[in-house]
Amino acid sequence: MKFWIFALMLLPAGALAQGAAAPNPAAMPAMIPEAAVPPPAPPQGGTVLTMRGLDKITGRPTSIVAPIGKPVQFATLTITARFCYSTPASETPETTAFVQIEDHRPDQAARSIFSGWMYGSSPGLNGVEHPLYDVWAISCNNAPAPAVAANTSTAPVKVAAPDSSDKEGLQALPEGAGQ
C-alpha cells in the first residue's frame, strides 16, 4: 500500500486526472538497493575508566581508576566498569561508560545500587543514588598517549630567540637568588 502512495506522489500533477493509467510496480526501477550497506562499526572502547568518587560525609573526593572488567573498591562500593569510550580531541568532549556498582555494607547483604550508562558531560543525568557516596565518570584512555618530551639534564639550557645573536651570554644571578 505504501509503495502505491509513494509511486503516485512521483507522478506529475494531474496525470491521473487526464486518464493516465496507474504505474506498474514491475516496470518501475528498483528504488531500494539490493545489497544493504552494513552499519558502521561501533567505536572501540578503552581499557581503563577514570572516575571520581565523593564521600558525602567528609566531602573528600577520590580518583578511581577502574580497568575494564575488573572490580575495584571505593569505600563500601564495588565498581565494575564494563565499557568506556571518550571522543577524540577533535570532537566535542564526551566520555561514555557502562558501569555496575554494588554496595557491600558490613551490616547489610550486598545489593546492586547502579547498573547503567554514565556520561562525563552530564554527571547528574544518570548518577548513583547512594546516601553516603557519589560516583561519576571522568575519562577513558582509548586515545593514544601523547608523546612527552623529557629533559633529564640538570645543566642550564639557553633557549635561542629568533632575533638573538651569538654574542649574548648567560646572565649571572644576584647573590642569594638561588636559595
> Which residues contact residue 117 at a Cβ distance below 8 angstroms, ignoring those fewer than 6 apart?
96, 97, 98, 99, 126
Question: What are the tens digits of pLDDT across the range 74-94?
Answer: 999 999 999 999 888 888 889
pLDDT, residue 1, reads 45
Global model pTM greater than 0.85: no
Torsion on CA atoms 74, 71, 77, 117, rounded to nearest 10: 100
